[in-house]
A = this chain, B = another copy of it.
Amino acid sequence: METIHVLKIGGNIIDDPAALSAFLSDFAKISGPKVLIHGGGKLATQLSRQLGIEPQMVDGRRITDEATLDIVTMVYGGLINKKIVAQLQAKGCNAIGLTGADAGFIQAHQRRNAAIDYGFVGDIDQVDATFLLQLLEQGITPVLAPLTHNGAGQLLNTNADSVASQTAVALARSRKVTFFYCFEKKGLLQDVNDDHSCVPQVKLADIERLKADGIVSGGMLPKVDNIAGALQQGVEKVILCHAQDVLSIIGGNSNFGTRFSV
């Protein structure tokens, strides 16, 4: 089997229908086996507020009480996931929408934290790639919502970056995987205010120096740690980029995107 492309998109694309449609057109054109993971965007927060539930965030993570779990299950697992699937079907990509509970392929446990009760938030124990590989071999493209389950009947709200990187790692145990980690910038920037200052290549061994130099700092720290983890666990290449540049990066354009490798 060819290299599997695993792509993660976040709120900056999901919250913008025109950008999402353009991205899905590009995604449908990627040849070979591929997997899309989407985050949540602002819709869950909007729906929460409409229902009179003020969202509570700690360090960028949503505190997920039972009412909030219902909301993210509706928004991530229903609305966003199925709209993406229907659009991909129209663009010639045979997509299937899944949470980690479907076919039981992501087992997680509820986060235990002495200081903060995150509620129904899941940390991933295991991604079973077998089922995803069967779908890919049938030409079907999994579209994953950031929800998992604990195997005892409980759905769990789960960080989309973790779902994406751990899915990439699980697939990398038996296949070559390139993981496109899409976000709101063009890549890892030397100068955060200059989109043309992308660092084209980063080796795993360079990461500590980049942190020391301050090029990796703030919100980039957890992203780069996530990327380092994926590389250490067998993902061949991780490309940090903007979703709109994915196709041109695959086509060989090295002006945008940062290519991380071992």
What residues make up the interface of A, taking CB atoms closer than 8 Å to B?
A: 50-51, 70, 73-79, 81-83, 85-87, 89-91, 94-99, 101-104, 131, 134, 138, 140, 147, 149, 151-155
Contacts and interface: CB of A to CB of B under 8 A. Distances in A.
Contacts of A70: 79
Contacts of A103: 94-96, 140
A152 B21 CA distance: 13
A89 B155 contact: no
Query: What's the number of copies of this chain in the assembled complex?
Result: 2
A153 B99 contact: no
Contact of A89 (B77, B90, B149): B149
A96 B100 CA distance: 10
5 contacts: A74-B75, A78-B82, A90-B151, A90-B152, A94-B104
Nearest to A143: B102
Nearest to A104: B89
A87 B102 CA distance: 11
Contacts of A98: 96
A70 to B, nearest CB: 6
The listed residue with most B CB atoms (<10 A of its CB), out of A78, A79, A94, is A78
Contacts of A81: 77-78
Given A77-B77, A89-B149, A96-B98, 5 more contacts: A73-B82, A78-B82, A82-B147, A86-B101, A96-B102
